[in-house]
Chains A and B, each alone.
Chain A
Amino acid sequence: QSALTQPRSVSGSPGQSVTISCTGTSSDIGGYDYVSWYQQHPGKAPKLMIYDVSKRPSGVPDRFSGSKSGNTASLTISGLQAEDEADYYCCSYAGSYTWVFGGGTKLTVL
């Protein structure tokens, strides 16, 4: 159950797009389409932003999109806004009813 690999930080200016990568193995990301992404503002609980690799829950802006290729998943945020500044975590089902998270990426909106 090793953690998925995310960049420690990414940044972008308002209106720009950023992509956060999440690399795992064939036992987690590569083996299942249960990849999800969570946004966490300081002192707050995580919030589901993407599930099933690329689906958005109701209420999540369509500026947020997800994808997967092989053992790597990605979260893209387009049209960056100040309120998008937060920590982002990827998560994958890892089989046998276990889950693994990434280490988290701090998004800074410049």
Chain B
Amino acid sequence: QVQLVESGGGVVQPGGSLRLSCAASGFTFNNYGMHWVRQAPGKGLEWVALIQYDGRDKYYADSVKGRFTISRDNSKNTLYLQMNSLRAEDTAFYYCAKSPSKLGIGWFDSWGQGTLVTVSS
């Protein structure tokens, strides 16, 4: 079955950087678009970024555009999120989520357990 396992979260100072990883298994990783979705503690869900199946096209929420970079290594079945210039409002659980399609259109059919990023001095 589909398994998504995030890692890389932690505490970082404002202005700092962090890279999250999401190890995928149980499906043909390079056939599907992948997303990052975040959730501030006690708050709602917010879509963050999409990368299409071959890694060539990437899309971002306005709130992270220019600061975050989504990438993937299909040889390692791993999704990444490089987060730079972090702000307090980036504090959240970050989930990787699988799309049902190559281009990422549609919905999020499987989710990881999330990794917590805390931005604080």
Which A residues contact B (CB, under 8 angstroms)?
1, 3, 34, 36, 38, 44-48, 51-52, 57, 89, 91, 93, 96-104
Contacts and interface: CB of A to CB of B under 8 A. Distances in A.
B111 A45 contact: yes
Interface stretch (B17-25, B72-80, B101-109): B101-109
Given A45-B95, A93-B105, A93-B106, A100 B111 contact: no
B110 to A, nearest CB: 8
Interface stretch (B7-15, B42-50, B84-92): B42-50
A46 to B, nearest CB: 5
A97 B111 contact: no
A89 B108 CA distance: 12
Interface of B: 35, 37, 44-47, 50, 57, 59, 61-62, 95, 100, 103-114
Contacts of A98: 47, 59, 61
A45 B108 contact: no
Contacts of A46: 37, 45, 95, 108, 111
Contacts of B114: 45
A91 B105 contact: no
B108 A38 contact: yes
B107 A36 contact: yes
Contacts of B109: 48, 51, 57
B108 A36 contact: yes
Nearest to B97: A46
Nearest to B96: A45
B39 to A, nearest CB: 8
A107 B44 CA distance: 14
B45 A89 contact: yes
A48 B46 CA distance: 15
Of the listed residues A44, A45, A46, A102, the one surrounded by the most CB atoms of chain B closer than 10 A to its CB is A45
B45 A34 contact: no
Contacts of B59: 96-98
A87 B114 CA distance: 17
Contacts of A38: 45, 108
A62 B61 CA distance: 33
Contacts of A45: 95, 111-114
